[in-house]
Amino acid sequence: MKMPKIEVSRQDLFTMARIEDPGDEKLADLLSLVKGEIDASEGNKLKIELNDTNRPDLWCVEGVARALRCWNTGAEKHLAELPEPDMEIFVDTELAKIRPFVAAFTACGWAPDERELDALIDVQEKLAASFGRNRKTAGAGFYLLDEIEFPIKYRAVSTDTSFVPLGFDQEMTLSEILDETETGRTYAHLLDGADLMPLLEDSGGNVLSFPPVLNSQTTGRVSAGDSRLFCEVTGTDWDTVQLSATILACNLQDRGAEILPIRVNYPEPYPGKTVVSPVIFSDQMTASMNSIRKLLGVDISPETAQEALQQMDYTSVKLDETGITGVLPPYRRDGIHAVDMIEDIAISMGLSSFEPLLPEQFTLGKCAPIEDLADAVRLLLIGMDCEEILRPVLTSREKVTALTRTPNSPVSIANPMTAEYDVVRNTLLPGLLEVESTSAHAAYPHRIFETGEVLTAGEEGYCRTKVLLTCLVCGNKADFGNIHSIIGSVCHARKLKLSLKDTDDDRFIPGRCAAVNIDGRISGVIGELHPEVLDNWGISRPASAFEITLSALKG
């Protein structure tokens, strides 16, 4: 993911931060609180690059201002003491496989001017584009509250349903919106394969929007001065939808709006519960003072650590004989390990406040033996006209299990930021298939490979890191013999004995799959990929692949 950049008004930023404009030199130091730096400064216009993709709450002027404000005045209470909701949304069962999740709230009492409305639209679009994966996992919309009659129905409808879309003056069917409008064509792929379409509609039959594509002209056109707003977020990933809504609610509350929650009623069996949004997340973090002092390299007092966390907007920060405990603000869900809390302490104290130390010993660095082996194998495969691919270690469970049909389940991440990266890969094959699925424009045959780390679940809850080598061939003649010749050449060059043994693997065609035996050890699998796997990835040509443990090629 690219590092996010935002463009803000200096006046807006420092008004919300409640500080005087310190000038660019001082501001550059302050932006270290958000891992940011000044990209450009032109009069009242300020461009900031944020070097952290784990904090979507910072991708807006409200988030940066909040960080500066809390560092000066301490932690704030966000979305505290919200009343019981008296407004509801009812979700249709048919949306379960289309776009199942929704979060919503109302914001009243703040009348944005043109600049503030632009800032609100900017964060809405930034969250949808980056955090929401171009509206796939989450996309938001704002509406005129007084034009809406509750309860709202989030339902699945046929493509011949019609309404007046935003920016138009006559009704269009949903299929016409997808085919004839620029926005529709841009986001039509998000609904590919769906017989029914999602629609937000109030109890009076007025259409709010056709998520994630287009709002309606009647309720979805918000102008400067509108002080009573309804906000909704829909998507395919529950966590992304809820966190996006919570961030928007915190931003509007910081602007001066009163936030009122909405109850979302899901049908049985998906997920069969009621959710009140915005969700007030309260992830708790704990670190021992010994670990804080060891990692920071300074003899920090518990009181100093407590103050530093409060400046980073941690609430309920408590000290005891074992260490320090704090609760992350509701707009943050990036805390995974105690190290994350310790990093926040260091940032609050100021990274420049730590005295640098030279290493006590001089050592020469060198590659690990497995990396030397990987380099040698890379050269062999490149010499066979194969191209190397580099893919992220994190991926989605759907890609590993549903699309690729990998036999073993990957290791899940406890609190993923998005469903796109909710597991650690246990195979390299899905990454190669994803590349191949977008490569139909290139001349065949395609020969791609990757060497990289994977994580496998072991006994008693332990995990083990392994380095694999996976190669995929795709084209009209990409049969078993084609892929076998590649691994055979690699083993011959490494002076290793290669043999095959019958095996079954759901990823491959039965009878055209084998276990790879290298120097007497079963080291992986090879075969022609199953047509269902190819269909899942939208690959139209035959493909074959092998995946082995790289260390088997040591010789």
432 Rama sector, left if φ>0, alpha if ψ -120 to 50, beta otherwise: alpha
Q: Is the pLDDT of residue 229 over 80?
A: yes
Cα–Cα distance for residue pair 52/130, rounded to 1 Å: 12
**Structural domains in the chain, sorted by start:** 5-73 (3.30.56.10), 88-277 (3.50.40.10), 284-352 (3.30.56.10), 369-553 (3.30.930.10)
Structure tokens at 421: 């990266």
Q: How many other CB atoms are found less than 10 A from the CB of residue 322?
A: 11
> From CA 74, how far away is CA 69, in angstroms rounded?
8
Give the tokens for residue 10.
Answer: 């200096």
What's this model's pTM, rounded to 2 decimal places? 0.77
| Spatial separation of the C-alpha atoms in residues 126 and 56, rounded to whole Å | 9
**Cis ω on the peptide bond leading into residue 407 (within 30° of 0)?**
no
Residue 220 has pLDDT above 60, yes or no: yes
Would you tell me how many other CB atoms lie within 10 Å of the CB of residue 122? 16
pLDDT tens, residue by residue, 488-517: 999 999 999 999 999 999 999 999 999 999
Q: What percent of the chain has pLDDT over 70?
A: 98
Q: Give 121's pLDDT tier (boundaries 50, 70, 90).
A: very high
Give the mean pLDDT of 273-277: 92
CB contact burial 293-313 (16+ within 10 A = b; e otherwise): eeebeeebeeeebbbbbbbbb
Whole-number average pLDDT of the chain? 93
Measured CA to CA, the distance from residue 140 to residue 242 in angstroms comes to: 11
Question: Where are the alpha helices (H) located in 55-113, listed in sequence order?
Answer: 61-73
Q: Is the pLDDT of residue 270 over 80?
A: no
Per-residue pLDDT tens for 341-360? 999 999 999 988 888 888 88
Classify burial at 105, counting beta carbons within 10 Å of its beta carbon; exposed 0-12, middle 13-18, buried 19 or more: buried
Predicted pLDDT at 272: 63
Give 440-497 pLDDT, tens digit per residue.
899 999 999 999 999 998 776 788 999 999 999 999 999 999 999 999 999 999 999 9
Predicted confidence (pLDDT) per residue in 168-204, tens digit: 989 999 999 999 999 999 999 999 888 999 999 999 9
Q: Measured between alpha carbons, how far is 351 from 30 in angstroms, rounded to an integer?
A: 11
Do 148 and 206 meet the contact criterion of CB atoms below 8 Å apart? yes
